[in-house]
Amino acid sequence: MKQQTYTPTWQLNQTISAQNQKNHPKKSRIFHYLLMFCLLSTGIFTASCGSLPKESAKAQPQQRTSREGNQAIPVDVAIARRERLQAQTEYTGTTTPYRTVSLRSQVEGRLLSLNSDVGDSVTKGQSIGQLDDTILSTDFQQAEAELAALKSEVARASTQISNANAEVERLRLELVQAEDDAKRQQQLFKEGAISEQLAQQANTRAKTAAQALRAAQERVRTEQQAKAAAKGRVLAQEAVLEQTKERRSYSRLISPITGVVTEKVTEPGNLLQAGGEALKIADFSRIKVVVQVSELELNRIQIGQSVEVRLDAFPQEKLIGRVTRISPTADATARLIPVEVVIPNSNNNISSGLLARVSFASPAAQRVVISQTALQKSNRDTAAENNGTIYVLANNATDKTKVISRAVTLGEKADGKVEILSGLQPGDRYVVRSGRPLKDGQPVSLSILSETTESNPAENSKRPIKN
């Protein structure tokens, strides 16, 4: 069997090509030229295609930059305001009434009625309750009877004094008559008209009348002393009667202050001992708050100083109170000193037990304060630089506007904020942050976080709290 040999295709093509050239030399040259022309055309086309992406890549950033320059950049805008750079330290306390009074019974007795309950308003001098006053009324009547008896004694003593004075006057007249008779009898005796015995008898009658007059005068003095003693007893009994009357008035429970009943301790029908508590009344015309202040900050607190008080129950209201008392003693462990602050409560809308936050006013003046993120990066972190640059809105539009750069003078920095000493006025709107770098005249659009001239949101910074 004859073995077959394999001939490669390229050798076969060369063999056929050689035979064709040998048989048709002119056609072979034409085919060769066409083949070279195709190869050159393919190379030129490939080179042109390779250079096209490079030119396109160069043109694309230029077009994007052109579009971005005309497109508004979203920014966060804030309104410049005056405030303190560092937030005031707040101290927490609890609201209490300015004073609380316990209404207690001053005498023993059964409680008959109570006219007020918890939450009722009472005025000073108002009758709130009534005790059983039977015993007190009996004592009062007895004291009145004794006073009447003593007054009758005084009247009787006055009558006796009058009688004694009349007796004295009668005896005085008798004495005058006896002395005149004695003088006449003595003259007649000297003339020898009567005997010596008659003259002596006349003298004796005169002396007797004088003694009787002295005795009557002494009785007058005695009666006057008795009357004075009776008057003293009357005065004493009048005091007893007044005391009994006062004790009888204790059977009525009278409010000593104007305020609100905060607690009802007993009920009608119960027996109250002397000093037993019936109600508690609080004065809410002013509210008292006691806060514990560190000894390190006590030097900036004075009695009479104005303070700012905020209540969580009324977050939109800022109350102004005054320091009324600074405790002379501090807690030996925590080194905290109680400071009492009183705030007005004319509307009586502040109750007891509310959380109060007290800020002691600082003497430092308020300046325009902005966020440090509004400064350009070249000035943001350099604390030694006093000058900086920020972007402000060029007009008052609220949808789209342009920004312009403005040079400002910087003050102190703290807590991510910086004071602006000059270059920015309260009410100016400035850019806090932007998505891309800004330049003068750059169109911007306000984000939803931006503040507008119509809005005035509350500050979001939280103050440090000390308990």
Residue 97 lies in a domain: no
389 and 334, same domain (yes or no): no
326 and 370, same domain (yes or no): no
402 and 355, same domain (yes or no): no
435 and 370, same domain (yes or no): yes
Q: Are 439 and 89 in contact (CB under 8 A)?
A: no
What's the sign of the alpha-carbon dihedral 74, 80, 81, 85? positive
DSSP conformation letters of 393-409: ESSS-SSEEEEEEEEEE
Residue 178 tokens read as 């006896």
Task: Give the whole-angstrom CA distance, residue 307 versus residue 288.
Answer: 13
Final residue belonging to a domain, choices 360, 382, 417:
360
Residue 337 lies in a domain: yes
CA 90 to chain centre: 12
319 and 415, same domain (yes or no): no
173 and 80, same domain (yes or no): no
Residue 127 lies in a domain: no
Q: Are 212 and 171 in contact (CB under 8 A)?
A: yes
396 and 451, same domain (yes or no): yes
Q: Domain with 170 in it: what CATH number? A: 1.10.287.620
Q: Are 85 and 410 in contact (CB under 8 A)?
A: no
397 and 352, same domain (yes or no): no
Which SS3 state, helix, strand or coil, does residue 222 take? helix
Residue 442 lies in a domain: yes
295 and 395, same domain (yes or no): no
Q: Are 430 and 391 in contact (CB under 8 A)?
A: yes
164 and 204, same domain (yes or no): yes
Task: Give the whole-angstrom CA distance, residue 387 versus residue 86.
Answer: 21
Cβ neighbours, 10 Å, residue 307: 22
Q: Domain with 446 in it: what CATH number? A: 2.40.420.20
| Angle formed at CA 389 by CA 384 and CA 394, multiple of 5 degrees | 160
Predicted TM-score (pTM) of this structure: 0.52
Question: Domain span at residue 379?
Answer: 73-85+365-466
Residue 455 lies in a domain: yes
Residue 388 lies in a domain: yes
Residue 307 lies in a domain: yes
The DSSP bridge pattern shows strands 73-79 and 442-446 to be: parallel
Final residue belonging to a domain, choices 208, 229, 249:
249
pLDDT of the chain along its 467 residues, tens only?
444 444 444 444 444 454 444 444 444 455 455 555 555 555 444 444 444 444 444 444 444 544 555 678 888 888 888 877 666 678 999 999 999 999 999 988 899 999 999 999 999 999 999 999 888 888 889 999 999 999 998 898 889 888 888 888 888 888 888 888 888 888 888 887 888 888 888 888 888 888 888 888 898 899 889 889 999 999 999 999 999 988 888 899 999 999 999 999 999 999 999 999 999 999 999 999 999 998 888 888 899 999 999 999 998 888 999 999 999 998 888 889 999 999 999 888 899 999 999 988 655 567 888 888 888 766 555 544 688 888 888 765 454 578 888 889 888 887 788 888 888 888 888 888 887 888 888 888 888 888 876 444 444 443 444 43
205 and 192, same domain (yes or no): yes
Domain count within the chain: 3
Final residue belonging to a domain, choices 304, 339, 360:
360
353 and 458, same domain (yes or no): no
Structure confidence at residue 437 (pLDDT): 83
Q: Domain with 301 in it: what CATH number? A: 2.40.30.170
- Which of 130, 73, 119 is closest to 446 using CA atoms? 73
Residue 110 lies in a domain: no
